Structure 1
């Protein structure tokens, strides 16, 4: 619950510090005193839009600090823990702080940690639920009616399931539609690639094969020259009849070996000539084998030349080097596989879409059944509250129309309509067509009180929701709010003494001015001052013994 509110330089507030308690708190004051200022400031602290004109004149910034005491294991406590924003020393305590500047910039903190507005807005509904004085204007809107019913039914998990099924179905239909739109283009692409893959399959060039083909073609086309030159080298080195290299080295070697005795310094040269002789002999052997192996094969040359030419032509088609054909072959095969799989997926997509549609429809039907049950229960409660609120013949019905094949939405397929009759013999009609402004306000109040009782939010605020109510009806409103205060902290801005008297505690708002500056103050009233304030609400500025007596009687009735 909200235990303390600190406001500084906000609108007409210079500084305000308010302690709040369990049960029902009434905030009263004269018209124009700023009774709703605390609620407005709290709304800012909970993430409402910040504007420069919210700041008190002649100051640079405004500050609002709200302190809450949380229950162990409450949604707010769990959220703070999950966000790592809990107070380590007191995890069941939460302090929100918001500062805004005249330029409209703002900063926010949770338990001293800087946060963004999105985080404030996530936490806000777990701490406080604010019901505004104009909320009855929303009551005729179908989307608001649906939200109220779902809030009462408390089937959040089922709503999430329906929304998830809808998202799955929507995405599958979207993918199917896109695939269908792309089908013609995809089929044309597949036809081209299939032809290219078949052509490359027939050619079947292996990795590294083109380099080997090039080398083979070069060797075969130069076989005559290679044989001629290798034979010439063989003769020059070893097999020539006159002055071949081997014979010359042997002659030189023999003569130098004979001189070793005269000068051992010739030993290195002799060794090298020996090695040279062996190398020449081995080179000659290799050349002989090479020369013998050379074939003048015109057919092999023609085949090699043909394959190289085909490789070059195919490579030119794909705009790459011939050596890259195996890689592009692999890529085209993979793309063709993907295209074929896409066609197969499209053929099977109808089954997937139908399955998703069926899952959605089943979930939507279960949601509708729960809504119908909650609608019946809520209708009876609102009817009883209407009759207690000076509409003795009032009857309220929430009609839930479910059509299995209705257009799908994230909220299901139900059409919700609040229907009412306030006079005997009148048929039920749509709320907007039947209820007057005062009746609509009372019906709205009844709905707000009943649905608020279903909420896990610990603090409920009502901003003059009793507008248009008076007399015995006002007393009933006060009783409803006081009853609600048994389970929730209720803070109610009111102008009705019958409502204020039902509160467990009361705050009075006053506005003062010195002619140059205006300030709003909020005061906690003791029993004596409560009597005076209630007497003022009952009789206006003239507080008499009679109005005081009536005020004491109202307070006694509340106890």
Structure 2
């Protein structure tokens, strides 16, 4: 809850420092004294827009500090811890806002500088400000739904529905992306199926084209190779008149005879013997090769055909023939991936259907809970309206199931009211006046406050347009909220002011040079005097004092 507020050089405030207790605190003062300044200051601390006009005339800057005890606000503590703005054993959250006369603004949480956006994120966890025109929110369907959910206190159902919606939406987006590309994939798959089948049928292996090319060259030149080989064999061995083997033998014989006279020739003779053996073996090998050679026109035609097909396919795919196996593999892989995508699309369709069923199941449970809560809330609001001088008023909550899904379920809510007997129920926006809206809004605040996580509620002159017995009921309702929430209420009605557990007064002083506003807590006797002023104006009599004493709620 809010425990302390410090304001310096803000609007017409020189310096203000107040301690704020639990329960209901009423704030009163003369018209124009600046009763709402403290509310404005708190709003700035919680991220409201700042401008240079807020700085007191003659000052360099405005400074506002709000201190909150967060021991009973686990959501706020968790948020601060997650954002590294709180020590583990820290009980207070101190928010400070500084505005310069040039209009620049700086914000701090527990001494750490933060952007105003973070103040706005933290604000709903600490305070709810119900301003003079807050009842206008009742006209918005989204707000009406949030009010009903708050009263129903079914966070677990909301969480389940939201989780189911997010999961379903994720799968739908994935499926949509796959389906949008389906046409292109189908066209590509049709082409790939033909290309892969063609390459499968041809089935050129890795390195095969080079082998084909080499064999083709050999067969295409077979006659020339055979002729040259035969001529060489004749020169080496087969020529009866003269061949290289016989000539080498003759050389060898002559050197052997000469070596009898000079042993130094023996090394040469040994090398020639080796050469003779090598030459003879080469001749035999060449003879065998020649015997194995036979022109094969059929095989040559086969090679020509396969190479021609390979080159045609290569031109079609705009690659070199020897790279066709890699192209074949890549196209086959792409075709498999497209088939897998199609299978994934079928699988996702099944998942999408299942996720949709899970969502609608969760949404149905949420709807059932809302229907039960709507009946209870409508009955309770009707009773409160009748207490608030709408004796014949009837309140109803129309809950309509929509076909459209959302993270908040599939329900549309409309608050309806019948102000006079015999009239049909109509949307609250069509039949309720501003004063009636204000009273209905207040009744709803009272009925839902026990489910509020926000510990501090501020009401800024929500009692405008009411008086007498109705004002007394409003005061009692606000005090009822103050039994389990901290309530601050700016009011001009003595019946409301008297219901506070404590009361503060705002006063304004003016001299020739400046105007200053002050705010201070009233003692019991001072409260009686202030209530008497609200009852009788400036002329305070013993009767008004006595009325004030009787009015004051102990």
Please report the TM-score for the alignment, with normalisation by the length of structure 1. 0.83
Task: Provide the residue aligned with 2:76 in structure 1.
Answer: 76
The alpha carbon displacement at 1:149 in A equals 0.7
- Kept in 1, the 8 Å contact 2:73–2:455? The answer is no
- Kept in 1, the 8 Å contact 2:9–2:62? The answer is yes
- Kept in 2, the 8 Å contact 1:536–1:543? The answer is yes
Write out per-residue CA displacement over residues 265-306 of structure 1, whole angstroms, 9 at most, x where no aligned residue. xx9x99999999999999999988888877754444433333
Q: Distance in 1 between matches of 2:172 and 2:70?
A: 45
- Kept in 2, the 8 Å contact 1:214–1:308? The answer is yes
Task: Provide the residue aligned with 2:451 in structure 1.
Answer: 454
Cα distance change of structure 1 residues 302 and 482 upon mapping to structure 2, 3 Å threshold: same
Task: Provide the residue aligned with 1:333 in structure 2.
Answer: 332
Larger Rg: 2
Write out per-residue CA displacement over residues 433-470 of structure 1, whole angstroms, 9 at most, x where no aligned residue. 33332222111111122212211221111122111121
- Kept in 1, the 8 Å contact 2:458–2:489? The answer is yes
The alpha carbon displacement at 1:370 in A equals 0.6
Task: Provide the residue aligned with 2:33 in structure 1.
Answer: 33
The alpha carbon displacement at 1:484 in A equals 1.5
* Aligned with residue 549 of structure 1, among 543, 546, 551: 546
Write out per-residue CA displacement over residues 357-408 of structure 1, whole angstroms, 9 at most, x where no aligned residue. 43333222211111111111112221222222222333222222336xx333
Q: Distance in 2 between matches of 1:290 and 1:533?
A: 130
Q: Distance in 2 between matches of 1:511 and 1:146?
A: 42
The alpha carbon displacement at 1:239 in A equals 10
2:94 aligned counterpart, secondary structure = strand
Cα distance change of structure 1 residues 311 and 478 upon mapping to structure 2, 3 Å threshold: same
Q: Distance in 2 between matches of 1:278 and 1:94?
A: 106
Task: Provide the residue aligned with 1:509 in structure 2.
Answer: 506
Task: Provide the residue aligned with 2:125 in structure 1.
Answer: 126
Q: Distance in 2 between matches of 1:419 and 1:356?
A: 35
Corresponding position: 1:463 with 2:460: yes
- Kept in 2, the 8 Å contact 1:77–1:91? The answer is no
Q: How does 1:338-487 map to 2 (within 5 A)?
A: 338-344=337-343, 351-402=350-401, 406-487=403-484
Q: Distance in 2 between matches of 1:309 and 1:553?
A: 115
Q: Distance in 1 between matches of 2:90 and 2:229?
A: 94
Cα distance change of structure 1 residues 167 and 78 upon mapping to structure 2, 3 Å threshold: closer
Task: Provide the residue aligned with 1:495 in structure 2.
Answer: 492
Task: Provide the residue aligned with 1:532 in structure 2.
Answer: 529
The alpha carbon displacement at 1:125 in A equals 1.7
1:33 aligned counterpart, secondary structure = coil
Write out per-residue CA displacement over residues 162-181 of structure 1, whole angstroms, 9 at most, x where no aligned residue. 33434444555555566555
Which is further off, 354-363 or 284-293? 284-293
Cα distance change of structure 1 residues 323 and 525 upon mapping to structure 2, 3 Å threshold: farther
2:107 aligned counterpart, secondary structure = strand
Which is further off, 291-300 or 130-139? 291-300
Task: Provide the residue aligned with 1:45 in structure 2.
Answer: 45
Cα distance change of structure 1 residues 368 and 226 upon mapping to structure 2, 3 Å threshold: same
What is the aligned residue count? Answer: 550
1:378 aligned counterpart, secondary structure = helix
- Give ranges in structure 1 of 5+ residues lacking alignment: none
Q: Distance in 2 between matches of 1:92 and 1:58?
A: 37
Q: How does 1:5-404 map to 2 (within 5 A)?
A: 5-57=5-57, 59=59, 61-71=61-71, 74-88=74-88, 90-101=89-100, 106-170=105-169, 172-173=171-172, 182-221=181-220, 296-344=295-343, 351-402=350-401
Q: Distance in 2 between matches of 1:456 and 1:189?
A: 57
The alpha carbon displacement at 1:113 in A equals 3.3
- Kept in 2, the 8 Å contact 1:402–1:413? The answer is yes
The alpha carbon displacement at 1:3 in A equals 1.4
1:474 aligned counterpart, secondary structure = helix
Write out per-residue CA displacement over residues 124-181 of structure 1, whole angstroms, 9 at most, x where no aligned residue. 2222222222111121222221121111112223223333434444555555566555
- Kept in 2, the 8 Å contact 1:131–1:448? The answer is no
- Kept in 1, the 8 Å contact 2:236–2:244? The answer is no
Please report the TM-score for the alignment, with normalisation by the length of structure 2. 0.83
- Kept in 1, the 8 Å contact 2:3–2:69? The answer is yes
Q: Distance in 2 between matches of 1:480 and 1:7?
A: 30
- Kept in 2, the 8 Å contact 1:152–1:454? The answer is yes
Q: Distance in 2 between matches of 1:291 and 1:47?
A: 101
Q: Distance in 1 between matches of 2:282 and 2:521?
A: 116
Which is further off, 166-175 or 155-164? 166-175
Cα distance change of structure 1 residues 421 and 325 upon mapping to structure 2, 3 Å threshold: same
The alpha carbon displacement at 1:196 in A equals 1.0
- Kept in 2, the 8 Å contact 1:72–1:92? The answer is no
1:49 aligned counterpart, secondary structure = coil
Q: Distance in 2 between matches of 1:179 and 1:213?
A: 44
Cα distance change of structure 1 residues 199 and 434 upon mapping to structure 2, 3 Å threshold: same
